[in-house]
Amino acid sequence: AFERHSCVLRIHAVCSFNRLFCFSASRRSVMPAWVIDKYGKNEVLRFTKNAALPIIHYPNEVIVKVHAAGLNPIDISMRGGYGAATMAMKRDPLNMNQSGSEFPLILGRDVSGEIMECGLDVNYFKPGDQVWAAIPPWKQGSLAEFVVLSANEVSHKPKSLRHVEAASIPYVAATAWSVIVNTGGLNKDNGSKKRVLILGGSGGVGTLAIQMVKAWGAHVTVTCSQNAERLVRDLGADDVVDYTAGPVEKQLQTLQKFDLILDNIGGETEKWALDLLKPWNGAKYVTLVTPFLHNTDRLGLADGMMQSGVTIGCKVLKHLRKGVHYRWGFFAPSGPTLDEISEMVDAGKVRPVVEEVFSFAQVPQVFQKVEQGHARGKTVVSVIEDQKE
């Protein structure tokens, strides 16, 4: 029995080795990509045809051929080095690599494309599947021909969307879901008639969040500039407050109080927004603008996390005395979340909001556009011209 068992193990090992060897040998080792070799402004972006082609290191990974990529404000921040210390710790927990080992770094957090290769433990996907994903910031991004991801970060893309449309959704959807469902406690079972306020509703996260909570029966109030009002109303906003028409807080104080506030703006809004919540009713304020990465970059992981813990602890207690809940919200990569969003898209409850599509050659212009702010939805890069689209 022992001999038979060891024989099976040897055969399995040989098959695994041959599969990996054949996979590597049958493909070239480089690919086109946009990379950065140091942190800085737009001039650090460099196009190369010789970026290292990703390979499968773990049996739960897949390689995706990128058809379209989406850019987010975090890509602009990461280009400048934001979160660099924290991401380095995530990539290299034992600190075995030299400083700067993340370079050449590929940015881009959204991908829509096609599975090319699956690790040995991947059963849910097969080569040829049309998929989408939100790529964690510590991994190489989607501004390249191929990207490698864990299978649990990937989802079958909505059948009703083309790749350039699908690439506008994953990162903001995963963020909105994490903030609204996981942190805010709102979902399709309890969302009916809840009053939700979205501060800064015309960007990527805002336009997705409006549609999500509206599909669950919530009443949605949005702040944005006057020229974005039509967009957010088309997406389902019930009340729209124009921040250019006078102090936002005074306009909002005339409305009924809220069950959930999602803050995409940060800064001064924290000083008055929590007074708009229903007290002693389980109401929550969740902000996406947190000092967490800034603290860990500045102070190191341990001291930065301690500083963040003290900060949020003080704020939670301060507002708890008033009967409202203060929370920080974060992006969380999740294939199952995207499965839920995919169903909502194909059911017509959520639609992509694509402001502009650029070609792969125009990536520096894409960064300039996203950096300017005042987004109306998402900016997308078409990496390959898909004939089927």
Do the Cβ atoms of 283 and 196 come closer than 8 Å?
no
Q: What is the pLDDT of residues 220-276, one digit of tens each?
A: 999 998 889 999 999 999 999 998 888 889 999 999 999 999 999 988 898 899 999
Q: What is the pLDDT of residues 61-97, one digit of tens each?
A: 999 999 999 999 999 999 999 888 888 777 776 666 7
- Whether residues 106 and 189 share a domain: the answer is no
- Give a yes or no: residue 73 inside a domain: yes
- Whether residues 323 and 347 share a domain: the answer is no
> Pick from 261, 228, 157: which is nearest to 377 by CA?
228
- Give a yes or no: residue 193 inside a domain: yes
> Pick from 198, 136, 171, 175: which is nearest to 329 by CA?
175
- Whether residues 297 and 264 share a domain: the answer is yes
Name the band, by pLDDT with cuts 50, 70 and 90, for residue 27.
Answer: low
State the chain's maximal CA–CA distance in angstroms. 81
- Whether residues 214 and 243 share a domain: the answer is yes
Q: For residues 49 and 34, what is the distance between their CA atoms, to the nearest angstrom?
A: 9
Residue that the structure tokens 């939805």 belong to: 377
- Whether residues 314 and 242 share a domain: the answer is yes
- Whether residues 139 and 252 share a domain: the answer is no
3-state SS class at 29: coil
- Give a yes or no: residue 388 inside a domain: no
Task: Give the per-residue SS3 of 253-271.
Answer: CCCCCECEEEECCCCCHHH
- Whether residues 75 and 204 share a domain: the answer is no
Asked if pLDDT for residue 16 goes beyond 60, the answer is: no
- Give a yes or no: residue 159 inside a domain: yes
- Whether residues 311 and 213 share a domain: the answer is yes
Q: What number is the average pLDDT over the span 206-227?
A: 95
C-alpha dist (Å) from residue 281 to 144, 195, 266: 48, 12, 23
Query: Can you give the CATH number for the domain in which 300 is found?
Result: 3.40.50.720
Do the Cβ atoms of 284 and 262 come closer than 8 Å?
no
259: phi then psi, degrees, rounded to nearest 5: -90, -30
Query: Can you give the CATH number for the domain in which 86 is found?
Result: 3.90.180.10
- Whether residues 341 and 375 share a domain: the answer is yes
List b or e across 271-308, with b for residues whose CB sees 16 or more CB atoms inside 10 angstroms: eebbebbeeeeebbbbbbebebbebbbeeebeebeebb
Mean pLDDT of the chain, nearest integer: 88
- Give a yes or no: residue 9 inside a domain: no
- Give a yes or no: residue 24 inside a domain: no
Residue that the structure tokens 């849910």 belong to: 124
Handedness of CA 40, 45, 49, 54 (dihedral sign): positive
- Give a yes or no: residue 189 inside a domain: yes
Q: What is the pLDDT of residue 96?
A: 67
For residue 315, count other CB atoms closer than 10 A to its CB.
Answer: 17
Q: For residues 22 and 137, what is the distance between their CA atoms, to the nearest angstrom?
A: 30
- Whether residues 205 and 304 share a domain: the answer is yes
Residue that the structure tokens 């490698």 belong to: 148
For residue 143, count other CB atoms closer than 10 A to its CB.
Answer: 29
Number of domains in the chain: 2
Q: What is the pLDDT of residues 279-291, one digit of tens each?
A: 999 999 999 988 6
Q: What number is the average pLDDT over the span 189-194?
A: 94
Q: What is the pLDDT of residue 94?
A: 66
Q: For residues 333 and 133, what is the distance between their CA atoms, to the nearest angstrom?
A: 8
- Give a yes or no: residue 5 inside a domain: no
Q: For residues 269 and 267, what is the distance between their CA atoms, to the nearest angstrom?
A: 6
- Whether residues 237 and 138 share a domain: the answer is no
**Of 313, 328, 343, which residue sits at a domain end?**
328
Beta bridge partners of residue 354, listed in sequence order? 378
Asked if pLDDT for residue 301 goes beyond 80, the answer is: no
C-alpha dist (Å) from residue 206 to 41, 69, 260, 309, 348: 26, 19, 14, 27, 18
Q: What is the pLDDT of residue 308?
A: 79
Q: State the residue range of the domain holding 265.
A: 184-328
| Neighbouring residues of 83: CB distance < 8 A, sequence distance ≥ 6 | 74, 77, 137, 293, 296, 297
Q: What is the pLDDT of residue 23?
A: 45
| Neighbouring residues of 70: CB distance < 8 A, sequence distance ≥ 6 | 108, 109, 110, 111, 142, 167, 168, 169, 170, 171, 378, 379, 380, 381
- Whether residues 58 and 123 share a domain: the answer is yes
